[in-house]
Structure formats: structure tokens, C-alpha cells
Structure 1
Amino acid sequence: MPYSLAIFDLDGTLADSFPWFLRAINDVADRFGFRRVADEEIEELRHASSREILTRLEVPLWKLPAIARYARRLKAEAASEISLFEGVEAMLQMLAGNGVQLALVTSDSEANAREKLGEAAALFSHFDCAASLFGKPAKFRRVVRRAGVEPRQVIAIGDEVRDIEAARAVGIACGAVCWGYAAPAALRALGPDYTFERMDEIASMLCPDAEAGMSEAISGSAP
């Protein structure tokens, strides 16, 4: 199935923000009164869903909007520490150059997202940012309507369990990347339509008729 719209997540999918997240999480925990994360818990939490993580860390749901606002502010202050994964720009250029509309749906602010993307931001036709933790389905629907395409022509690509769940809630295809926040095994257990182990695999799948040499152009392979 050729896809005419690709909806990307940002953190953990295009931007390498997980190291920053690990440095910041316990400061956020102290500020908002939920349980700190021990180093030995990190891998286990990568196998958990968002709801399971909230339960384990004893995060009050009513605090989520304030936590999200604070996290966006911290990310803005740490912008110089968060870079795109190698190969992202070439992959996005390949998709856009082959007629695939690009959209970004993220929990981060649009200002932060544009700063992280740099010149690659101009390749995106649609931004729908500041998504709540479980608010991606509504944003996916809105982006699909704006793009003027059928759900069967759309794929959402992300790095978390909630990205797969959101895509399925809207009736669009889902692709999971193996280099982000969630453990690859946790993503594969949900049976996404596609699993990507290298950056160049995204362009190869979405643009199968693109000229040879695409893999060489997208030089980062696995982040």
C-alpha cells in the first residue's frame, strides 16, 4: 500500500531526546511529587505502557497537564543538548521528494519541534503539537482531515506503545521504530504494521520505487 501521508512522532523517533529525559525525570518527579526512577528500573519501564508507567511511578493524573507544560519548558532550555538522529534529514527529504506529505504530532510545543528539526521543518506540511499523553488520536484525525486523504493512505510512525494504540484507534497504519523510548520487544508484542530497525528502512518502505542508492544517501542507519 502506497502511503500519501506520514505522521511522525518527534521525541525518540526523529529526535534523540531519551538521554535528556533520563537526566530530567527525577527533577520533574521531585517538583510534582511522584516517585523517582532508579537506574535499575529504566529497562523495565521501557517495556511498560504509558498507563502502567504512570501507575508504577504514582503520578496523579490531574497533574499531567502541569507536568507536560514544565517538561516542554525544560526541553526548550535544553535544546542544544537534543539533536536529530543521524539520517533523519535525508529520510525526510526522500519522502517529501517522492510526494509523501509529512506531518508532525508531538507532545512538545511547535516552537520546540521546529527548533529541533531545523531546516527539515520546512519539509512538513502539517504540525499538530502539544498533544496530551493520551491525546494523539484526536490530533491524528485532525491531521488526516487537513491533508485531505483517506485513512488507508496514512501511516503514523513513532517509538512508543501509545503511538501504536493511537494509530489503531483512528484506523491508520502504524510503524514502530526500535531506537526510541520503548523497548523493541514491547512494540513488537503489539504487532505494528511495520517495525523499523534502521532509519533508511522508513524511506525504503514508503518510497519503494525511489532510485537506487537511497540507503547510501540516508547515512545513519540504526541510531
Structure 2
Amino acid sequence: MYRTIIFDFDGTLIDSEKLVQSLFPTIIDEFNLTHLSKYALSDFKKKSLKQIITEFKISPLLIFKINKKVQEEVFKKIPELDWQEGVLQMLEMINSRGYDQGILTSNSRKNVDHFLSSKQCELFSFIASSKHLFGKDKALNQLIKRKKLMKREVLYVGDEVRDVEACLKIGIDVAAVSWGFDDEKLLVDVKPTYLVKHPKNLLECL
């Protein structure tokens, strides 16, 4: 059924949540978001990015700046980051079955390359980066056309509501993973093709 599996990076493949949590006070101070100081990162996990922008009154431009700041800090901490539990074994199994694996992320290509190099990982045949947090549907379409893929043969794997929405918008199947950033209930509500609760369970979707 599927020939190509495309993965999100942060939250889906790597465990960057503790790093983001440690940056929370710095982000609040640097971007003058003192009204958010009473919240914990867990409060944001229960809301989609669009809900965060609306309910916490954070502009899309500021979200972009915060994301850039986080990416810069991620690069510094790459040696300290690791795969999500069970993910490397999952990737190796998918690779052994002959699937083509790639990455499409809102993180920088530099960060992805740095992480994969630090782990001596050569399991991905392509890596693409999209700077637009809300433009993943366009980035996916462009990637599919550039790689000359058939949509029915592509499965995207991500951990956020916006990942699911992007895939549904362009008509490709999507596996939403519950071990990443967005809360499982949020993911269920947007009706992904599959809801995956452990990396080994992704193999059952292929």
C-alpha cells in the first residue's frame, strides 16, 4: 500500500520536550510574555497551535520568532537529545522492509542533519524543511511533486494537529503519534487515518 513514509522531526522522532520545557522561562522573559508565566508546558499540550495563538493572544509572527529561538537552542543541545523511546528500532524495522523513509519538518535542515550525524543514522533518503508553521500542506505537496511520489503510496507521521490537518487537506494518509507534543485527545478530534500509541504499532499501519 505505502512505499514512502515521511516523518515529522521534533516530538515524533526525537524527544525535545524537556529542552523546550527548560526554555520556557527564557522565552517568557525574552518575548515579554509574562501573562503566560502562570501556565506550565502541559497546559499548551492540550491545545492546538491555532488555539494557542487565539486563546493566549500570541501573534503568528511572534510564534515564528519563538520557533526560531527554540531551533537555535536545539542546535546547541543536539548532543544531549535522543530518539523517542522505541523510535530507532521502529525506523530500522521499516527500513528492513524496503520502505523509503524521509523527513519533513518545521525545524531547520541544519538541526536535523546535526542530530542524524551525531547518531550516525543513515536511514533517511531525503530531508526537507519548511519555515512556515502553517504551510505544511504546501510543503508536503511540493515534496511529493519533486520526488514524483503517488499520494496513495505516501504516509506522513506526525505528533501535532497541524500535521493531521495538512495531510487531510491534500489527501494523504496520516499517522498521528500520541508520544509527541499534542495531547492524544486533540489528535483524536481531528480524525487522523491512524492513531499510534507506541512506535512498534506504526508497523501495523504499513
TM-score by length of 2: 0.90
| Distance change in 2, residues 1:3/1:79 (3 Å) | same
Structure 2: which amino acid aligns with 1:124?
F
Structure 2: which amino acid aligns with 1:77?
K
Q: Which stretch of the first structure deviates more once superposed, 148-157 or 63-72?
A: 63-72
Q: Distance in 1 between matches of 2:42 and 2:65?
A: 26
| Distance change in 2, residues 1:13/1:39 (3 Å) | farther
Whether 1:79 and 2:78 are equivalent positions in the alignment is yes
RMSD across aligned positions (CA): 1.9
Deviation at 1:141, TM superposition (A): 1.0
- Summarize deviations over 1:156-193 as a string: whole Å, max 9, x none: 11111111011111110011111111111111111111
Asked if the contact 1:6/1:102 (under 8 Å) is kept, the reply is: yes
Counterpart in 1 of 2:151?
A: 151
Asked if the contact 2:36/2:56 (under 8 Å) is kept, the reply is: yes
Q: Percent identity over the alignment?
A: 28
Whether 1:204 and 2:204 are equivalent positions in the alignment is yes
Q: Distance in 2 between matches of 1:35 and 1:53?
A: 15
Asked if the contact 2:154/2:172 (under 8 Å) is kept, the reply is: yes
Counterpart in 2 of 1:70?
A: 69
Q: Distance in 1 between matches of 2:33 and 2:54?
A: 10
Deviation at 1:39, TM superposition (A): 6.4
Secondary structure at 2:110 match in 1: helix
Structure 1: which amino acid aligns with 2:23?
A
| Distance change in 2, residues 1:73/1:50 (3 Å) | same
Asked if the contact 2:130/2:136 (under 8 Å) is kept, the reply is: no
Asked if the contact 2:7/2:156 (under 8 Å) is kept, the reply is: yes
Counterpart in 2 of 1:134?
A: 134
Asked if the contact 1:152/1:172 (under 8 Å) is kept, the reply is: yes
Deviation at 1:40, TM superposition (A): 5.0
Deviation at 1:7, TM superposition (A): 1.1
Gaps of 5+ in 2: none
Asked if the contact 1:105/1:131 (under 8 Å) is kept, the reply is: no
Whether 1:119 and 2:120 are equivalent positions in the alignment is yes
Whether 1:191 and 2:205 are equivalent positions in the alignment is no
- Summarize deviations over 1:19-52 as a string: whole Å, max 9, x none: 1111112312321223454465543422211111
Structure 2: which amino acid aligns with 1:191?
K
Within-5 A mapping of 1:1-223: 2-35=1-34, 37-38=36-37, 41-117=40-116, 118-120=119-121, 122-206=122-206
Q: Distance in 2 between matches of 1:205 and 1:54?
A: 33
Counterpart in 2 of 1:215?
A: none
Q: Distance in 1 between matches of 2:147 and 2:21?
A: 35
Asked if the contact 1:35/1:58 (under 8 Å) is kept, the reply is: no
Q: Which stretch of the first structure deviates more once superposed, 109-118 or 3-12?
A: 109-118
Asked if the contact 2:130/2:139 (under 8 Å) is kept, the reply is: no
Q: Distance in 2 between matches of 1:19 and 1:119?
A: 23
Asked if the contact 2:95/2:123 (under 8 Å) is kept, the reply is: yes
| Distance change in 2, residues 1:30/1:40 (3 Å) | closer
Deviation at 1:66, TM superposition (A): 2.9
Counterpart in 2 of 1:217?
A: none
Deviation at 1:63, TM superposition (A): 3.0
Q: Distance in 2 between matches of 1:37 and 1:12?
A: 22
Secondary structure at 1:142 match in 2: helix
